[in-house]
Amino acid sequence: MTSPQDTLATWLAEEAAVRARLLPVGITPFNEVLPRTGLQLMQGMLNGELPPSPIGRTMDFILIEAREGHVVFQGAPSDAHLNPMGSVHGGWFATLLDSALGCAVHTLLPQGRAYTTTDLSVKMLKAITPKVQRVRAIGEIIHCGRQVASAQARLVGPDGTLYAHATTTCFVFDLPGQPKP
Q: What is the mean pLDDT of residues 120-148?
A: 96
Q: pLDDT tens digits for 84-123?
A: 999 999 999 999 999 999 999 999 999 999 999 999 999 9
Phi, psi of 89 (to 5 degrees): -60, 140
∠ CA 39-90-107, rounded to 5°: 5
Q: What pTM was computed for the model?
A: 0.94
Residue 171's identity, in one-letter code, is F
Q: pLDDT tens digits for 11-44?
A: 999 999 999 999 999 999 999 999 999 999 999 9
Q: Is the pLDDT of residue 54 over 70?
A: yes
Question: How confident is the model at residue 13, as a pLDDT?
Answer: 98
- Answer yes or no: are the C-beta atoms of 121 and 170 closer than 8 Å: no
Q: pLDDT tens digits for 149-160?
A: 999 999 999 999
Residues 6+ away with beta carbon under 8 Å from 40? none
pLDDT level of residue 176 (50, 70, 90 thresholds): confident
